[in-house]
Structure formats: C-alpha cells, structure tokens
C-alpha cells in the first residue's frame, strides 16, 4: 500500500513540475523582434525580422507576408517600412535600426530576411529568403494559400524575381519601385495566377519609373491582374507612400492562392525553376525560354501548347477536375493523346511528335535540376574554396595559393557605409583538409591543376578538360557535376584577372562577373580578353565548336 501512495505522490509532483514548466516555458512575445535561422550555406546563424500579432494564438493559422529590403538597408528597418514607419526627422538609418516604434496591430505574421545585406536576391540571398520562409512555417501555423511577397527597390526587384520564378507559392506580390535582375521581364506570364500591385514615384532618379510602366502595360496586355499606384513628384522613397497606414495588409487581405488552377502558364530558362502548380519541365534547351500553356478546361481533358520544350510532366493529384478512375485526354500542340494515370504522367517529344513517356526522361550525366550549370550555380549554395598542395609548393608559393583562394572567398569585404558588407563566410581549405563530409555536402571551388591540387587529381578522369600545368598566360574556369554536387575548376589565372572595378559594387570585383558567365570561361592574359564563354552540351560534353576554340591556344588538353 505504501508503494502505491509513493507512486501517487511522485506522479503528483511530476505533474506540478510539468505544469510549472508549461507556464514558465519561453514563448515569443507579440510585436516586432529578431529571430535567426541556421544557414548551411556557410554554417552561420542568419537574422530576420519578425512580427507576431498582438493576440497571437499558436493554434491559429495566420497569413504571412515576406518583406524584402532595399540596398543599404536591413531586416530591422524593413520591418518598420512595411508597417509604414519611416525614420524620425533627422534620424539616420543606423539610428532607426536600433529600436522598433509602436504601430497598429495587424492579424498577419510578417518576416523580413536580412539576406546577407546588399547582395540582390539571387544566389545565396535567394536561398536565404526560402530558408526564412521554411523557418517561419516550422515555428508557426501558416496559411499557405495566404502567403504574400513585397519589397522595395532592390527588394522590389527581388519580389518580381522570386515571385515569378516560383509562382505557385504566392497569393499576391507587391513590388515597390522595383529594380529587377536581368531576365526577369521574360517571366512576366508566370503571374497569371496571382494579382500584382506596383508602386512607384514619377520623379524617381534612382530607378526610372519607365521600367515599372512597361511592366504594368505588358502585364495588362497578357491578361494578368495588375494594379498600379504612381505617386506624383515622389522620388525614390515611394515606399513611404506605398506602405503608409499599413495599406499593403489591406490589399493582401483580399487575395488567396488557388493551389489547383485550371490554367497554368509557365516559362523558364533553368531547371532550377522547373515547376508551377501541376506542370513540371523535364527537358528544355538551357538558355532558351521554354514555355507551356496548360488548360484543364473540362474534367479529365487538358489542352496544352508548348514552345522550346522537349519533355514535361503533369501531376493532377488533388485537382478537382481530375478523376483517377477515368482516362485523361491531353491535346498537346494539336495532337490528342489519352493516358491512364493515378495522378502523374510524363510526355516526351521525339522527331517533333509528342508521346507518353514510358521510361525515365533523364538518365546518366545530363543537364537537369541540380546539375545544369552555369558557373554561378556552384557559388549559389554551400561551397568550399580549395587550394592545392599536391606538388609540395615552397612557402612563398603556398602563401600565394592561400591568398588567392582567400581572396576568392572574401565576399564580406567592406563597401562603404551605405552598402556595408555581405555577411557570407565560406570556408577556405587545402586539398589535404577536405573531408568526406565536405564532398558529400558542398560544391567545391578548386584552384590549380591536376598536378598541383589533389582534389582536381581525384576527379581528373571524370573531368572533360585540363589546362596544361606549365601555362602561365591563360585562365580557365568551368563547372562540372560530380556525384551530387558541382566542382568549379579555376586553373591558371584567376577568373577575375584584369577585371575593372566599375559600376555599383553590389559584390566585389572578384564576384561581379560570375552571374554573367556560362558553363566554361577561357581567356588569355586578362578576363576581359575571352577566348570562349559558352555551354557544355546537354549531356555535359565538349561540342565541336568548343573544341576548336579551346585547342587553338595549345594550352588545353581535352580528355572526353
């Protein structure tokens, strides 16, 4: 009997402790604050601004707004901006970043990524935006049909780029005085299934208003739901008017994503962005805009037109107009096909004729999602810079190699008070220090040749070409997929040799041209004197055109 009483006493005490723990458990406060997520791009904690509603209920699903800051700004200022809170009279951005003022409550969760500072919204910063989205969805209940995207200036451009490359995530987007990356305008038709609201000042001296007017006119012409507010005599700070009185939350509140639209229009140049709603691109000509217009105009019957597309998949699981018990009729570029599917079916184009695919579309080493290039793709996710020691260099030579790799990895150099630093810190290792976990998890940026770098030697028989070790006048940079990741080989002169430090320095001169390059870049004496800048074939082979240009110098050995 005493044993039973003892058990009751123990469980009673444990219950009290549990209740006390629940009461005292640390919970996030409502209002503005800063959280972090762990970035595996460089093993750092990265900050983002967060707003939780005043009466936050952890059991309730909330709409979410992602807010992207402009150049020279940050996540803390950005959280203020989207709520219509400008700097006080005479207050600098540095001073305004130190605290959050009071503002009226909204029933939204808001997240403002830092995204490494002023670095645009492609590459690592783009990855950060999705990491913030994932982190918020992990912490809180988010209504995925009420997820919105807005941003100003550089962040307005990022809003267009991120919104249009993955259009099935967002319920609506709202760019303010946007400065989008090159190539974004080609993606305009991807906005078919969400509304877009632009804001711009007609006297903007930094981002001319003509660009936004062109966007609005084009979107109207192609049938996108677009609205536009142009502010008279307003310069670049049009966000003050755009976000005044928390207007953006009112506008977003009327939009809701349809996860199963009847019609999907989607265009892309990269496998990285190969999916929208119920269509997926499986094979296309990289660098050429592939297009699809798919309309499930009646139950189990779809009309599809394509351009520059050679294989695609349709996945109708969950679509209200799909019945797995019956055949589905697809009319593709005028040709009728019938397929029986539980949800997903793939099509392939051979000799200009579409057929139902009966085998996997991509096999072996071919260009596909995660293995498509170009060179910048190796720098757009986790990567490590590796210098060579295989030839036992002298202390002086070793220092040169370490300095070169360190310079390449130095994304965080100081660019002045306005732009500050890019907060990205990849590692620099010798070829002897690379661990199996690095090979498993990272792209490798390898400096040297197979004679000087043991990692290049390790993959030598898989790589398609090599620069002759004795050559001192050429530079070679190319990307190639090895197993699950990329290697980027830089032999001879570094890829930034002779580059001029001109233009607005969003990134350092070492990194400025990387997004412009294709799969392989070969030059003589200076990177401004290119011999070849082009792409490998679809199966990662050297084409005849490439071979002619590369071998004419006598500095290159083609291996495959």
Query: What pLDDT, in 10s, does the model give residues 205-218?
Result: 999 999 999 999 99
Any domain includes 22: no
Token pair, residue 96, equals 């305004």
- Looking at the structure, tell me whether residues 340 and 393 fall in a common domain: no
Whether pTM exceeds 0.75: yes
What's the pLDDT at 4?
Answer: 42
- Looking at the structure, tell me whether residues 171 and 37 fall in a common domain: yes
Residue with tokens 């999907």: 264
Cβ atoms 70, 156 nearer than 8 A: yes
Question: Which element (helix H / strand E) includes 7?
Answer: helix 2-24
Domain-terminating residue out of 202, 232, 252: 252
Token pair, residue 325, equals 């018990």
Closest Cα to residue 311, out of 325, 327, 292, 329?
Answer: 292
Per DSSP, the three-state class of 229 is strand
Residue with tokens 């009309």: 303
What's the pLDDT at 107?
Answer: 97
What's the pLDDT at 362?
Answer: 61
- Looking at the structure, tell me whether residues 53 and 196 fall in a common domain: yes
How many distinct structural domains can be found in the chain? 3
| Domain carrying residue 312 | 263-356
Per DSSP, the three-state class of 557 is strand
Any domain includes 1: no
- Phi, psi at residue 9, to the nearest 5°? -65, -45
DSSP state of 87: P
- Looking at the structure, tell me whether residues 145 and 268 fall in a common domain: no
Cβ atoms 380, 122 nearer than 8 A: yes
Domain-terminating residue out of 252, 283, 301: 252
What's the pLDDT at 24?
Answer: 39
- Looking at the structure, tell me whether residues 248 and 277 fall in a common domain: no
Any domain includes 79: yes
Cα gap 340→331, rounded to integer Å: 14
Q: Tell me how crowded residue 366 is: count the other CB atoms within 10 A of its CB.
A: 15
User: Can you say how many angstroms the Cα of residue 546 is from the centroid of all Cα atoms in its chain?
Assistant: 29
Cβ atoms 233, 210 nearer than 8 A: no
What's the pLDDT at 363?
Answer: 62
Strand 31-39 and strand 44-52: pairing? antiparallel
What's the pLDDT at 26?
Answer: 47
DSSP state of 234: -
Any domain includes 495: yes
Q: Tell me how crowded residue 317 is: count the other CB atoms within 10 A of its CB.
A: 12
Domain-terminating residue out of 356, 390, 423: 356
- Looking at the structure, tell me whether residues 170 and 296 fall in a common domain: no
- Looking at the structure, tell me whether residues 177 and 199 fall in a common domain: yes
What's the pLDDT at 361?
Answer: 67
Which CATH number goes with the domain that contains 213? 3.40.50.1820
Any domain includes 365: no
- Looking at the structure, tell me whether residues 247 and 267 fall in a common domain: no
Q: How many helices (H) and strands (E) does the chain have?
A: 12, 27
Any domain includes 293: yes
- Looking at the structure, tell me whether residues 240 and 271 fall in a common domain: no
C-alpha distances in Å from residue 531, one per residue of 173, 374, 389, 475, 526: 42, 17, 29, 10, 10
Which of the residues in the chain have pLDDT under 70? 1-26, 361-363, 503-505
- Looking at the structure, tell me whether residues 396 and 294 fall in a common domain: no
Cβ atoms 67, 152 nearer than 8 A: no
Any domain includes 528: yes
- Looking at the structure, tell me whether residues 303 and 210 fall in a common domain: no
Any domain includes 335: yes
- Cβ within 8 Å of residue 341, ≥6 positions away: 316, 324, 328
Cα gap 331→337, rounded to integer Å: 6
Cα gap 392→176, rounded to integer Å: 55
Cβ atoms 197, 271 nearer than 8 A: no
- Looking at the structure, tell me whether residues 495 and 528 fall in a common domain: yes
- Phi, psi at residue 148, to the nearest 5°? -125, 160
DSSP symbols for 351-365 = TTEEEE--S-S--SS
């Amino acid at each position: 009997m005493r044993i039973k009483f003892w058990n009751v006493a123990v469980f009673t005490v444990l219950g009290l402790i549990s209740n006390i723990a629940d009461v005292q458990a640390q919970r996030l406060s409502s209002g503005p604050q800063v959280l972090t997520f762990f970035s595996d791009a460089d093993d750092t904690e990265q900050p983002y601004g967060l707003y939780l509603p005043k009466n936050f209920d952890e059991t309730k699903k909330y709409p979410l707004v992602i807010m992207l800051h402009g150049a020279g700004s940050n996540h803390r200022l950005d959280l203020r901006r989207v709520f219509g809170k400008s700097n006080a009279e005479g207050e600098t951005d540095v001073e305004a970043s130190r605290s959050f003022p009071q503002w009226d409550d909204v029933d939204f969760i808001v997240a403002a990524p830092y995204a490494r500072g002023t670095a645009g919204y492609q590459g690592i910063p783009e990855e950060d935006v999705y990491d913030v989205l994932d982190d918020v969805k992990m912490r809180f209940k988010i209504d995925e049909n009420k997820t919105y995207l807005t941003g100003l200036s550089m962040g307005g451009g990022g809003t267009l780029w991120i919104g249009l490359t993955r259009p099935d995530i967002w319920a609506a987007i709202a760019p303010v005085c946007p400065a989008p990356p090159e190539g974004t305008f080609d993606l305009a038709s991807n906005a078919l299934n969400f509304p877009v609201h632009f804001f711009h000042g007609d006297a903007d001296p930094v981002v001319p208003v003509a660009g936004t007017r062109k966007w609005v006119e084009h979107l109207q012409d192609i049938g996108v739901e677009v609205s536009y507010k142009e502010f008279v005599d307003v310069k670049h700070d049009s966000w003050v008017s755009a976000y005044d009185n928390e207007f953006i939350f009112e506008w977003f509140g009327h939009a809701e994503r349809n996860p199963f639209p009847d019609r999907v229009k989607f265009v892309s140049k990269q496998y990285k962005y190969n999916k929208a709603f119920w269509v997926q691109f499986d094979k296309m000509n990289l660098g050429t805009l592939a297009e699809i217009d798919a309309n499930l105009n009646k139950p189990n019957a779809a009309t599809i037109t394509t351009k520059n597309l050679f294989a695609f998949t349709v996945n109708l699981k969950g679509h209200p107009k799909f019945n797995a018990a019956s055949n589905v009729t697809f009319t593709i570029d005028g040709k009728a096909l019938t397929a029986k599917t539980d949800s997903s079916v793939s099509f392939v184009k051979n000799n200009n004729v579409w057929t139902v695919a009966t085998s996997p579309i991509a096999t072996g080493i071919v260009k596909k999602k995660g293995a498509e290039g170009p060179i910048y793709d190796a720098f757009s996710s986790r990567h490590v810079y590796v210098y060579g020691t295989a030839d036992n260099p002298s202390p002086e030579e070793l220092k040169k190699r370490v300095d070169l790799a360190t310079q390449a990895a130095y994304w965080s150099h100081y660019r002045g008070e306005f732009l500050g630093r890019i907060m990205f810190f990849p590692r620099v290792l010798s070829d002897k220090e690379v661990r199996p976990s690095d090979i498993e998890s990272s792209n490798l940026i390898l400096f040297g040749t197979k004679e000087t770098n043991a990692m290049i030697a390790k993959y030598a028989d898989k790589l398609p070409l090599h620069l002759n070790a004795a050559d001192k006048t050429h530079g070679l940079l190319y990307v190639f997929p090895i197993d699950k990741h990329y290697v980027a080989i830089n032999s001879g002169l570094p890829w930034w040799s002779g580059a001029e430090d001109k233009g607005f320095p969003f990134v350092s001169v070492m990194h400025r041209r990387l997004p412009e390059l294709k799969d392989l870049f070969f030059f003589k004496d200076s990177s401004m004197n290119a011999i070849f800048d082009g792409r490998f074939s679809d199966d990662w082979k050297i084409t005849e055109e490439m071979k002619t240009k590369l071998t004419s110098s006598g500095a290159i050995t083609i291996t495959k």
